Structure 1
Amino acid sequence: MQLPLSVFGLSMSFRGLLQQEAQASPMDGLSVPRKPILKLKAATESETKRCPMTETLPILYQDEHLVAVNKPSGLLVHRSMIDRHETRFAMQIVRDQIGQHVFPLHRLDKPTSGVLVFALSSEIASLMNQQQETEGHKWQKGYLAVVRGWAPEDIFIDHPLKEKLDKITDKKAQQDKPAQSAETRIKRLATTELDVKIEGFDKSRYSLVWAKPKQGRKHQIRRHCKHISHPIIGDAKHGRGRHNRYFKEHLDCPRLLLHAASLSLKHPMTEQPIELWASLDDCWQLLLNRFDWQTQLPTELQTPKHEGTHDTP
């Protein structure tokens, strides 16, 4: 069955990569991989330290149709022409981990951590892609982020975003596409104030926020936070360099502080609701303890034992 590329949210340049990934599994031992489309150099020691890889990923949910994992920050979902030095990808790790092909249903940016869902067959991937077009099957996503300044208590951002095209992978894409609708609700969970002068003020303020995007535009939450002048800490593209450096050098937080904490969806076959939660890594935990923010988290994130699925009423 030929899947539409919209299932993966990928440009045409990734078609061969997915076909190669599906045929080169070491678990079946029967198929022969095609000639690689990309020549990937081995990661250097410094690159490996920058993006530590694990041989397995925490599984949040698994049945005969779906598998969901907690993706760490610094790991690509699939091969990319932009990051040629990378040799490990979530798609490959999960495939090897469970012993069967996987089909990504959505993407997370490389520096973003959290819930990542794969279908276990092309038929299920196609079905879920079709189902998400209907109102009753739209996914509900929740993200945790740390932003500069004291964010509004509750704000609904309706700010259309023009598609950001990549010079390498989007060479043949239409260059003058109109801005696409993009809506995000952001709620402030907690604040802190540090006696540190970073941008001309005697003190520096930060907020812990919960973001719920209605769509899934590229960098939607990151760009919307920048739009309201509360950029996410650790965002090299849309954030503020001085604050990013301070968190890296003084608070031991070198990563983008954006975590895909929750995802609610309907099972493609039973239509039963599934609610997934991904726990926070050590960088997040240290920061939450330092700022005394632990009790301000959603209940499902306050202790690691809550990672995984939860019943939905």
Structure 2
Amino acid sequence: MLTTAIATLTVGSLRTPSPRRFPSRSLRPSPMEASSSRYGDTANAASDRTVTILQRGPRHVVAYKPPAVLSHHSGWAGSRSNKVSLLDYCVCASSSALTRISKTYMKAAKRGELPEVPMLQRVRDALHDIDSRGVATEGADGKDGGDGDAQKRRVNLVHRLDRGASGCLLLTYADDEDGGRPSSSTMMGDTAQLIEAMSSDESIKTYVALVRGEGMLRGENLVERGWFEVSRPIKDDVGETKDATTLFNFVAGQAEAGPDRPRMSLVLAKPKEGRFHQIRKHLAGLSHPILGDNAHGHSKTNREWKETRNLPGERIALHLARLRVRPTVGIPGGVDASAPVADDMLEMLRAHAPDVLEASLTALEEEGVPIEPDGGYEVGTYDLPESECPRLCVVSLAHCSDCPSALNDSVVPRAELPAFEYEPATVLHRSEHYVVVDKPPVGETSLHAGAWTRLLSFDTIFLTHRDFLHNLLPGKLQVLCHNSKWSGDARSDSAKRRHDIRPMLQRVRDTTGRTVNLIHRLDRGASGCLLLSFAEGADGPDGCRVTRTLIESMQSPEATKTYVALVDGDGKWNGIDYLSKGWFTFSNPVKDEWGKAREEAVTELLFVASTVLPPADDEDPDNPEGRRVSVVLARPRTGRWHQIRQHLASGTVGHAILGDSSHGRSRTNRSWKKRRGMMKERTCLHLSRVTCPGTEYSGGGIDVSSPLPDDMRRMLGGMGGLLDEARPALEREGVVI
């Protein structure tokens, strides 16, 4: 067993870790502030562009990688230089490059970021800065006549860390000592040898992870198991399935005890291989996803941590705390380096799980994981050349057989940009004062034949038309009930109106030829009955009395809205069999759309039928997660924001709606879209029937039904006998299939 000594800067000099104290720090320092405050003296370095070198030898370097920083990206050389000010892509429907490039640049510009400098370049520049200062110091002492202009040495990555993770990053030198051409012994030899050494059983990477959950899995206390092994094949980044084994130790955990004491655990992990997202996928498979993991974690939990507990936006609470690599020919002493637990993770523990932190100290010490830095680390700065700032002003759309090849440097006027055609609204019922239409979850768009544009101002897109580039290509779009940009000054601008996603309010107006007002709304990805009033008529041009009367009618106790939902789960949760309960009333406060206030909300629920689907070829047959599905009817008695979605996803019911990216499980939603045909950005919630008591404008009342949409019928049809099992109950409640 390898020693638990911690390597400091001097190669071969090892010290045994000692118990650490915990001085107070400000909450949530930035990654660079953490690097500056914890890893060494930065008197000679810019505090916002520092790199901490944890260990440095003649042929290798171990640097501290902060969260939210790439290890390396292949597009660094040239792709972000000022030579690329115009990107030429066509507007044809067959082109996907336009959408991909525009999203990348739009995200960078929205964040207001300067060019992102990956760790590979940061370490190269930091080493040059450190060495240059050393040369300058020797010259000042008269020991050397160096001018501080040493040539930058190139470095190679031996492994990578995810963007949101932090910890030890191992690199090797890519040049000869004399700065000549790379040789096989210094570049291919050392890099290849260390890569091979890291894949051996003698090399160990010890990660610290903060996860959601108290360490209980199906009644078993994982904390009591000590170290245990998880072997589960996972897909790499190109979709190829490979074997993967990880050792886990659930060191300590806590159950939920109020908003300031969420359920969470501290876990140590030692992957035997280096598969794509291996630890993240294995922990998610244990129902304990890493906090901040948007790809495999729990969307609602991550959002709560970011909004209320200061979890940084791109942070994944995963930290490579210790790296041990067996000796190689080039590095006969091997590598043994440690990175103290990151500041932000320590503050999360201190603020929300102090008992977990205290209970973990012994295990962390035994594994050689330091809490406080040993000091004496080298710190250097990296460069951010102004000449490499991205040009995000214009995009050229050309090089298409159907488009002119000549380009002008002028921006095409908005009125000349291509417009879109939309399917008319489907009317379910129409009277003198109101209309009920069928809102689809997505709509078809089509680009006028031969329409094209040469130059497009990104400023216009950022400020008023963020979705325009996404909508240039024909395809499926979500359908809004209403867009606030259609009121006020923007409504009179025909050049703007014709390029936006057209909400249902305008579709119904175009279909009926009359101005309409919404009586209620449906979420973007939901579908079903949508009630609107005509805004002109006997009561004058505004139609206020009709709208107000119908809103009051829908809010009355006699009114009902019956929703059909497909949810993630088999109808059983926390020992309760909801399938046997019949209709039951669930009352629980929910958050408003700003996520701040909590309002009382009441929903009636009926679990109709449930099944567990057979596994796909690439799914684990022993793990039913993502394959359990139930049909649920819901009748909200109050009209809160995302009320049904929040109630079904709550810790009491535990059956999130499929496709619910706000309150559901992102990994499950991805699986349904990929393997079982769920539409992109679809929320499997359908308002099947609306009933309202009679008024002076609705006569004997309103009772309108919307048949299940094609996509939900298709999904149910692929679930064996689930639809047949649910049909009697659905028809009894007036649901049209």
TM over 0.5: yes
**Could you say which residue in structure 1 is the equivalent of 2:692?**
265
Distance (whole Å) between structure 1 residues aligned to residue 707 and residue 556 of structure 2: 29
Cα displacement (A) at 1:202: 4.4
Cα displacement (A) at 1:206: 1.2
> What SS does structure 2 have at the residue aligned with 1:111?
coil
Contact 2:427 2:436 in 1 (8 A): yes
Distance (whole Å) between structure 2 residues aligned to residue 78 and residue 128 of structure 1: 18
Deviates more, 1:233-242 or 1:200-209: 200-209
Letter in 2 for 1:68: V
After TM superposition, the structure 1 = structure 2 runs for residues 58-73 of structure 1, keeping only pairs within 5 Å, are 58-73=426-441
Cα displacement (A) at 1:120: 0.8
After TM superposition, the structure 1 = structure 2 runs for residues 14-25 of structure 1, keeping only pairs within 5 Å, are none
**Could you say which residue in structure 2 is the equivalent of 1:107?**
521
**Pairing partner for 1:75 from 455, 468, 479:** 479
Residues 124 and 279 (structure 1), Cα distance of their counterparts in 2 relative to 1, 3 Å cut = same
**Pairing partner for 2:501 from 87, 90, 93:** 87
After TM superposition, the structure 1 = structure 2 runs for residues 130-145 of structure 1, keeping only pairs within 5 Å, are 130-132=552-554, 134-135=556-557, 138-145=558-565
> What SS does structure 1 have at the residue aligned with 2:591?
coil
Contact 1:145 1:258 in 2 (8 A): yes
Cα displacement (A) at 1:70: 0.6
Residue deviations 1:14-59 (CA, integer Å, cap 9, x gap): xxxxxxxxxxxxxxxxxxxxxxxxxxxxxx9689xxxx97431211
Contact 2:566 2:657 in 1 (8 A): yes
Cα displacement (A) at 1:71: 0.1
Distance (whole Å) between structure 1 residues aligned to residue 722 and residue 633 of structure 2: 13
Contact 1:124 1:268 in 2 (8 A): no
Cα displacement (A) at 1:114: 0.4
**Could you say which residue in structure 2 is the equivalent of 1:246?**
671
**Pairing partner for 1:57 from 398, 422, 425:** 425
**Pairing partner for 1:212 from 635, 641, 645:** 635
Residues 62 and 201 (structure 1), Cα distance of their counterparts in 2 relative to 1, 3 Å cut = same
**Pairing partner for 1:96 from 510, 528, 545:** 510
Distance (whole Å) between structure 1 residues aligned to residue 437 and residue 735 of structure 2: 16
> What SS does structure 2 have at the residue aligned with 1:115?
strand
The answer to whether structure 1 residue 184 and structure 2 residue 615 are counterparts is no
Cα displacement (A) at 1:150: 1.6
TM-score by length of 2: 0.31
The answer to whether structure 1 residue 147 and structure 2 residue 551 are counterparts is no
**Could you say which residue in structure 2 is the equivalent of 1:157?**
586
**Could you say which residue in structure 2 is the equivalent of 1:287?**
715
Q: How many residues were matched structurally?
A: 243
Distance (whole Å) between structure 1 residues aligned to residue 674 and residue 569 of structure 2: 19
Cα displacement (A) at 1:132: 4.7
Cα displacement (A) at 1:80: 4.2
**Could you say which residue in structure 2 is the equivalent of 1:194?**
613
**Could you say which residue in structure 1 is the equivalent of 2:705?**
277
**Pairing partner for 1:127 from 539, 542, 549:** 549
Question: Unpaired runs of 5+ in structure 2?
Answer: 1-91, 100-419, 442-477, 486-496, 536-542, 572-577
> What SS does structure 2 have at the residue aligned with 1:91?
helix
**Could you say which residue in structure 2 is the equivalent of 1:40?**
none
Question: Unpaired runs of 5+ in structure 1?
Answer: 1-43, 167-174, 304-313
Contact 1:198 1:243 in 2 (8 A): no
Task: Report the RMSD for the aligned CA atoms in angstroms.
Answer: 2.8
Contact 1:78 1:89 in 2 (8 A): yes
Cα displacement (A) at 1:69: 0.5
Cα displacement (A) at 1:195: 3.1
Residues 103 and 189 (structure 1), Cα distance of their counterparts in 2 relative to 1, 3 Å cut = same
Cα displacement (A) at 1:125: 0.2
Answer 1 or 2: higher relative contact order, Cα 8 Å, separation at least 6: 1
Distance (whole Å) between structure 1 residues aligned to residue 507 and residue 433 of structure 2: 18
> What SS does structure 2 have at the residue aligned with 1:189?
strand
Cα displacement (A) at 1:134: 4.8
Residues 194 and 248 (structure 1), Cα distance of their counterparts in 2 relative to 1, 3 Å cut = same
> What SS does structure 2 have at the residue aligned with 1:286?
helix
Cα displacement (A) at 1:198: 6.9
**Could you say which residue in structure 1 is the equivalent of 2:654?**
229
Letter in 2 for 1:77: C
**Could you say which residue in structure 1 is the equivalent of 2:683?**
256
Contact 2:706 2:736 in 1 (8 A): no
> What SS does structure 2 have at the residue aligned with 1:146?
strand
Cα displacement (A) at 1:283: 1.2
Deviates more, 1:108-117 or 1:240-249: 240-249
Contact 1:65 1:119 in 2 (8 A): yes
Residues 134 and 202 (structure 1), Cα distance of their counterparts in 2 relative to 1, 3 Å cut = closer
Residues 134 and 157 (structure 1), Cα distance of their counterparts in 2 relative to 1, 3 Å cut = closer
**Could you say which residue in structure 1 is the equivalent of 2:446?**
none
Cα displacement (A) at 1:285: 1.3
Letter in 1 for 2:640: R
Contact 1:75 1:111 in 2 (8 A): yes
Residues 134 and 230 (structure 1), Cα distance of their counterparts in 2 relative to 1, 3 Å cut = closer
Residues 202 and 217 (structure 1), Cα distance of their counterparts in 2 relative to 1, 3 Å cut = closer
> What SS does structure 1 have at the residue aligned with 2:599?
coil
Cα displacement (A) at 1:243: 1.3
Residues 78 and 264 (structure 1), Cα distance of their counterparts in 2 relative to 1, 3 Å cut = same
Residue deviations 1:216-247 (CA, integer Å, cap 9, x gap): 10100000011021111101111111211111
Distance (whole Å) between structure 1 residues aligned to residue 500 and residue 671 of structure 2: 27
Letter in 2 for 1:127: T
**Could you say which residue in structure 1 is the equivalent of 2:76?**
none
Letter in 2 for 1:70: D
**Could you say which residue in structure 2 is the equivalent of 1:306?**
none
Distance (whole Å) between structure 2 residues aligned to residue 301 and residue 185 of structure 1: 16
Identity across the alignment (%): 29
Residues 53 and 211 (structure 1), Cα distance of their counterparts in 2 relative to 1, 3 Å cut = farther
Residues 199 and 99 (structure 1), Cα distance of their counterparts in 2 relative to 1, 3 Å cut = farther
> What SS does structure 2 have at the residue aligned with 1:249?
helix
Cα displacement (A) at 1:116: 0.3
Distance (whole Å) between structure 2 residues aligned to residue 281 and residue 54 of structure 1: 18
Distance (whole Å) between structure 2 residues aligned to residue 53 and residue 156 of structure 1: 44
Contact 1:187 1:210 in 2 (8 A): yes
Contact 1:61 1:69 in 2 (8 A): yes
> What SS does structure 2 have at the residue aligned with 1:96?
helix
Residues 199 and 273 (structure 1), Cα distance of their counterparts in 2 relative to 1, 3 Å cut = farther
Residues 142 and 132 (structure 1), Cα distance of their counterparts in 2 relative to 1, 3 Å cut = closer
